[in-house]
Structure 1
Amino acid sequence: MIDSMTTAILTDSTAYLPNTLVEKYNIYTIPLNVLIDGESYQEEKELTAALFYEKVKQLKELPKTSQPAIGAFTSLFEELSNAYDSVICIHLSSGISGTYQAAVTAGQQVEGIQVYPIDSEVSCMPQGFLVLEAAKQALEGIAPEEIVSSITALKKETNAYFLVDDLQHLQKGGRLSSAQAFMGSMLQVKPILHFVDTKIVPYEKIRTRKKAVDRIFQLMQEDINADQPLTITVIHANRPQEAKDYQAQLKNMFPKATVMISYFGAVIGTHLGEGALGFGWCPIIVEEE
């Protein structure tokens, strides 16, 4: 524990942060749960992404996911109160999970620690970018209110687009807004998806996977200032080689940027399905491990 640090940083398992960075920046994580064949697993702790994609291949029905219990939050907050004055918790978008609201509720129930919940309005590594920046600032001793203000501003500069092989996962799980518009023949396209007002919505309809990725790269070029410090992430659902290929392309396109590979773990993978791809970027520097 770092005695001089009075603000703890907490996120949930869907940030899919590498353990090296979690340890380096003293980040706490609360897991979401995945229910497979009647058995509950804590994401990342009991169920790795690799094991999840193996298990899913043998299932007839999609797994189910659930947020951490409010009691799990209150227990963790009480534990953190022994070492910290405050905790900033940054969670996946409230439009696709009740995790953020559970943190808000738990924060109102505990004493001895000030809880600052933040709705990342995204998920996966783009959420992780916000967590890493908050953790860096906490280590520097910046006041929690200032960190919250900084992360709220950084959210507006953090972007992500993704595509799925099969929209039915999102539709069955109720995670896709305007789902009716994409029924029937629309299931044949590869729509580019993004978050708007905490919800996953279609951005553009594209006919093929390659064209969808090319379009996302075009959007990145329009949005990114090549001279600005930047970290880009390629996120994949059990497609490591494809992710490496896109990483190499992006390094050529943005030579000054850090380009890292991340993944869709069990919870997000349940809703996006194997083969999903995501691209996110944020104007911060994340050291390559």
Structure 2
Amino acid sequence: MNNYTIDGSKLYSFIVSGARNLIVNEHGLNKINVFPVADGDTGTNLALTMKTILKKAQKDDHTNTTMSSIAKAAIENAYGNSGMIFAQYLNGLAIEIGSRTQLTQEEFVLATQNAVKYAYEAVSSPKEGTILTVMKEWSSDLKNHVSEEFETLLERSIENAKKTVDNTKFKLKVLMDNNVVDAGAKGFLYFIEGIYQYVKTGILDESHFRAATMEEHVEIIPNTDIGELRYCSQFLVQTEKDKEYFTKLMTPFGDSLVVSKRDEYVQIHIHAKQPEKVMATLVFEGTVISSKVDDMQLQANLLHRRKSPIVIVTDSIADFPQEFAEREQITVIPLNLIVDSTVYLDKVTMTPEYFYKHLDDYRMNPTSAQPTQEHLERYLTGLIEQAESVIGIFVSSKMSGTFNNIVRNVNSLNVTKKISLIDSKVNSAAQGLVVMEAAKLRNQGLSHDEIVEKLEVIIKNTHIYVSVKDLKYMIRGGRVSKVQGIILSKLDLKPVISIDETGKGTIFAKTLSQKKAVKQILKKVSNDMREKGIMTYSLVYSDDIAHLNDFKKECKEIIGKDPAYIEAISPIVGLNAGKGAFAIAYIKDSQS
């Protein structure tokens, strides 16, 4: 029997080396991802889970303290199905290590084996031929040869783990049909290979890690019809209730359910039809700390049925129909909406219908916030990987920090593909029209640079005019100063809000009634129609589409055609526009 021991520092190095070896193989894993759905993001999810562990976990001389820190970081920040399972495995390791400050080889091996049950228990319907199988077989092989020298033991176990990974393609039909191994299983193999590299060399330097050479595969053509459970949804909830309670609670909402818990935090992963209903249920079960929702149908289409080499991305402040976004494969990055201390995803876990219905019931004034750095990185890396070039059209930088935040994030990624990030200098329906025109230009076969050049002209000719019924929302949201708001309110003035050529919000007109405000808007529309012509327009409303009835008729009489679309104002914009608001956005004809 050997005397190999593992303290907290060495255990931390194991995890760091394993994580770094997995991270460098992110793109290769994405290419073979077909289970549970072919959305091509298993590598990204695992890599981001590992990056967060490296960023947040703390090293200590004691194994129990180190592993607890790693498990906490993993549980609270795991991404995707495989990331959640991996996090629960690490959590199981922490539980099994218990209060030990140092591990013998036998204790380490026993902990790896016992940790497997925690990973299995987190999954509502565990499948063999996945990451679970490799975890189980690897730890079992370690136990069967535990008396060997540690380096020899790891080397042997990894050779057997490779065989287990190779066999996954015969365990699940979707893997067999596409002649690939399970991406999550392969990711775990890279992780334990990283541990072995450290044990063998003692090197942790990032430059030491190289992506493995992937086998050449026949082009994967999976079934990309994801079905109605298209939203990969995750929620981190601070609660006193146990894992079993949430497993039972969440089961009716979808499939691919994974639930893990550490201390007072429960992490939930589920493929759902309506993530907003999952969110509405969870807010009554504790404090929802964070949420992540991916449209797997869009991901699958961009990966396997991409409409164009040029991919268009925008943010959730842009108002346009969901059908348009789906048809044109537009990626929408949701901003955060904070309501009564709970963070929602704009238009995803907080829909306009629900928001306006309860707007006057909230205890605190709703506010907006930028997506986290980790969330932005996840959206952008996946998008850039799938596209040949990217055109991003974002809300005015004078009205939100979104544009500058995304520019900083993209610059930090060191990408080589062509990416154009555009400040639309507008918001809401006006921003939506710019996105719609970008899609039209792309469909006409224009090049990336030609589209960007034409968008510059289009943006200069894009305008929006908003009729605000009640100023209280703009005052409490800070869009109108308190002094100005008090004056306008005392006079009972109904302003028309617009955006100037620099992208800054401005009061276009002050009237004594909303009816007179509408007249001012229609007068402006009529003048622009007469002087230059209006190429296209759209109408948006907050809580009641009936507010548009007369306005829609008059706009059609002036412009001579129906709007390109009518859509609800996003909750992010609505927290300032408030109830009773509606608007017209249009693009003047630049050819006149």
Give unpaired runs (5+ residues) of structure 1. Answer: 285-289
Confirm or deny: 8 A CA contact 1:96 1:199 kept in the other structure.
Answer: yes
Q: Compared with structure 1, are the counterparts of its residues 256 and 265 closer, same or farther at alpha carbon in structure 2 (3 Å cutoff)?
A: closer
Distance in 2, matches of 1:146 and 1:71, equals 32
Indicate whether 1:208 and 2:208 are aligned: no
* Separation of aligned partners in 1, 2:478 and 2:570: 18
Q: Give the SS at the match of 1:210.
A: helix
TM-fit CA distance, 1:259? 5.4
- Tell me: CA distance 1:85–1:260, structure 2 relative to 1, closer, same or farther (3 Å): closer
2:398 pairs with 1:100: no
- Residue deviations 1:5-44 (CA, integer Å, cap 9, x gap): 2221001111122111111211111001111112111111
Residue 494 (structure 2) pairs with residue 190 (structure 1): yes
Aligned counterpart in structure 2 of residue 15 of structure 1, from 302, 318, 340: 318
Quick one: distance in 2 between partners of 1:4 and 1:239?
35
- Tell me the distance in 1 between the aligned counterparts of 2:375 and 2:553: 40
**Cα distance between partner residues in 2 of 1:241 and 1:257:** 16
Deviation, structure 1 residue 180: 6.0
Measure, in 2, the Cα distance between the counterparts of 1:253 and 1:94. Answer: 32
Deviation at 1:122, TM superposition (A): 1.1
| 2:361 pairs with 1:86 | no
Residue 54 of structure 1 aligns with which residue? Answer: 357
Map Cα deviations across residues 182-211 of structure 1 (whole Å, 9 max, x no partner).
233322201111112222111221111000
RMSD, aligned α-carbons: 2.1
Give the C-alpha shift of residue 219 in structure 1: 0.5
Q: Which of 229, 235, 248 is the aligned partner of 2:553?
A: 248
1:230 paired residue number: 535
Distance in 2, matches of 1:141 and 1:38, equals 46
- 2:430 matches 1:126: yes
2:575 to 270, 274, 283: 270
The worse-fitting range, judged by mean Cα deviation, of 133-142 and 11-20 is: 133-142
Pick the aligned partner of 1:36 from 315, 339, 346: 339
Alignment partners' CA distance in 2, 1:175 and 1:90: 23
Deviations 1:206-226 (A, max 9, x none): 111000101110110000149
Shift of 1:60: 3.1
Q: Percent identity?
A: 26
State the distance in 2 between where 1:19 and 1:28 align.
11
Q: Distance in 2 between matches of 1:213 and 1:8?
A: 37
SS at the partner of 1:57? Answer: helix
- AA at the equivalent of 1:223: D
In terms of mean alpha carbon deviation, does 244-253 or 7-16 score higher?
244-253
For residues 58-89 of structure 1, give each alpha carbon's deviation from its aligned partner in whole angstroms, at most 9, with x where no partner exists. Answer: 11321111122333232222112222122111
Secondary structure of 2:446's counterpart equals: coil
Name structure 2 gaps, 5 residues minimum.
1-301
Whether contact under 8 Å (1:91, 1:119) holds in the other structure is yes
Residue 504 (structure 2) pairs with residue 199 (structure 1)? yes
SS across alignment from 1:15: coil
CA distance in 2, matches of 1:261, 1:201: 23
Provide the C-alpha distance between the structure 1 equivalents of 2:339 and 2:378, rounded to a whole number of angstroms.
Answer: 26
Looking at secondary structure, tell me which structure has more helix per residue: 2
TM value normalised by structure 2: 0.45
Residue deviations 1:94-153 (CA, integer Å, cap 9, x gap): 112111111111121122433211111111111011101112223344222221111111
1:209-265 alpha-carbon deviations (Å, 9 max, x no partner):
000101110110000149956322222111211113321222223224535322212
- If asked which structure has higher relative contact order (CA below 8 Å, sep 6+), I would say 1
Q: How many equivalent pairs are there?
A: 282
Counterparts of 2:562 and 2:580 in 1: how far apart (Å)? 25
TM-score (norm 1): 0.89
Q: Are 1:9 and 1:87, in contact at CA under 8 Å, matched by a contact in 2?
A: yes
Of 201-210 and 57-66, more deviation after overlay is shown by: 57-66
Q: How does 1:57-76 map to 2 (within 5 A)?
A: 57-76=360-379
SS of the equivalent of 1:248 reads helix
The alignment partner of 2:385 has SS state of coil
Please say if residues 160 and 279 of structure 1, whose CA atoms lie closer than 8 Å, have aligned partners that are also in contact.
yes
Counterpart of 2:330 (choices 27, 31, 52) is: 27
Partner of 1:287: none
2: CA distance, partners of 1:43 / 1:7: 25
Amino acid corresponding to residue 146 of structure 1 in structure 2: E
Q: Which has the higher strand share?
A: 1
CA contact (8 A) 1:229 1:257 kept: no
Q: Note if contact 1:231-1:260 (Cα within 8 Å) is conserved in structure 2.
A: no
User: Separation in 1 of the partners of 2:417 and 2:374?
Assistant: 16
SS in 1 for 2:458: helix
